A and B are shown apart, each in its own frame.
Chain A
């Protein structure tokens, strides 16, 4: 079945360490997104990529980095510069413009930094 796979489901790190969250899709979608979810704040866009080897900052990109070397993969690195990294991170993809094509989401990675 086609879909989006995020791994790991739960991740624990010490403060000051970088950590990379994996996101893989086999839907042949061009666009991929990373969102951060905090209680009561909905989803906030971190980075998005509409095509391989290109990506754009979202609303809260500071302290994060991404790469898009392959169409299927869009890993997110949470760096030590991110002030409050503990959150639920969701990866999504879409086939074309968001007004016409809905987002398909992975099941998320819950990151806890202590």
Chain B
């Protein structure tokens, strides 16, 4: 069985300051991990994915995430927040067969001017 825990349901930052959204996973095999972003009343858009290549993954809009197997973590970061980053972010793990995704509960990012 696999699971994903997003450690913060809400994160608030000021524009121009760093963003850290935390994600821990559990899996009995080498997982594939994803971060998706959802703006209000919209579908989800892929930010980045890890599939056992480089442990530091760069995504769109300046986001990146680092896979740390020893800590079972896949935290999402961005050096400088922009107002347009305000959205909900989901950490997702895929099973080994690639047939099933497990979503975290989401983290709502708020960016203050």
Listed residue (A41, A100, A102) with the most chain B CB atoms within 10 angstroms of its CB: A102
Check if B104 sits within 8 Å of A102, measured CB to CB.
Answer: no
Which residues of chain A come closer than 8 Å to B41, judged between CB atoms?
9, 88, 107-108, 110
Q: How big is the A interface, by class?
A: 20 to 34
Which residues of chain B come closer than 8 Å to A44, judged between CB atoms?
103
B49 within 8 A of A: yes
Check if B98 sits within 8 Å of A106, measured CB to CB.
Answer: no
Contact mask B94-105 → A, CB, 8 Å, 1/0?
111111110111
Listed residue (A4, A44, A45, A105) with the most chain B CB atoms within 10 angstroms of its CB: A105
Assembled-state Cα–Cα distance A4/B32 (Å) = 24
Contact mask A84-114 → B, CB, 8 Å, 1/0?
0000101010001111101101111010000
A51 within 8 A of B: no
Assembled-state Cα–Cα distance A6/B44 (Å) = 13
Assembled-state Cα–Cα distance A6/B76 (Å) = 29
Which residues of chain B come closer than 8 Å to A88, judged between CB atoms?
41
Sampled A-B contacts (5; CB under 8 Å): A4-B43, A9-B41, A41-B105, A99-B97, A103-B44
Check if A98 sits within 8 Å of B32, measured CB to CB.
Answer: yes
A2 within 8 A of B: no
B83 within 8 A of A: no
Check if B98 sits within 8 Å of A97, measured CB to CB.
Answer: yes
Check if B43 sits within 8 Å of A40, measured CB to CB.
Answer: no
Check if B9 sits within 8 Å of A40, measured CB to CB.
Answer: yes
> In angstroms, how far is the closest chain A Cβ from the Cβ of B1?
12
